[in-house]
Amino acid sequence: MAEDDHDAEEALDAERARVAHELIAGVRGLPAAEVPEALCRACVSLLPAASGLSVSVLGDSADLGVVLCASDAVAARLAEIQYTLGEGPGMEAIRLRAPVFATDLTSPPATRRWPLFSVQAAKAGAEAAFSLPLAGGAGALGTLDLYRETSGSLSDAHVRTAMLVADAVALAVVALDQASADPEGVVTWLAGAEADREEVHQATGMMMVRLGVSAEEALLRLRARAFADGRTSTEVARGIIDGTLDLRDD
- The residue that leads in pLDDT, 233 or 93, is 93
Residue 166: count of CB within 10 angstroms of its CB:
25
65-76 exposure pattern, b = at least 16 Cβ within 10 A, e = fewer: bbbbbbbeebbb
- The residue that leads in pLDDT, 34 or 132, is 132
The 10s digit of each residue's pLDDT in 40-56 is 999 999 999 999 999 98
**Where would I find the beta strands (DSSP E) of 33-150?**
52-58, 65-70, 100-102, 128-135, 140-148
The domain limits of the chain are: 2-179, 191-249
Average pLDDT, whole number, for the chain? 81
**DSSP character at residue 239:** H
The 10s digit of each residue's pLDDT in 120-129 is 999 999 999 9
Contact of 211 with 221, CB cutoff 8 Å: yes
| Residues 176, 180, 183: CA angle, nearest 5 degrees | 135
Q: Tell me the CATH number for domain 191-249.
A: 1.10.10
Cα separation of 74 and 88, whole Å?
15
Q: Does domain 2-179 have CATH number 2.60.40.2230?
A: no
Domains 2-179 and 191-249 in one fold: no
Q: How confident is the model at residue 163 (pLDDT cuts 50, 70, 90)?
A: very high
Give the type of residue at 202.
Answer: Q
Q: How confident is the model at residue 178 (pLDDT cuts 50, 70, 90)?
A: low
Q: How confident is the model at residue 68 (pLDDT cuts 50, 70, 90)?
A: confident
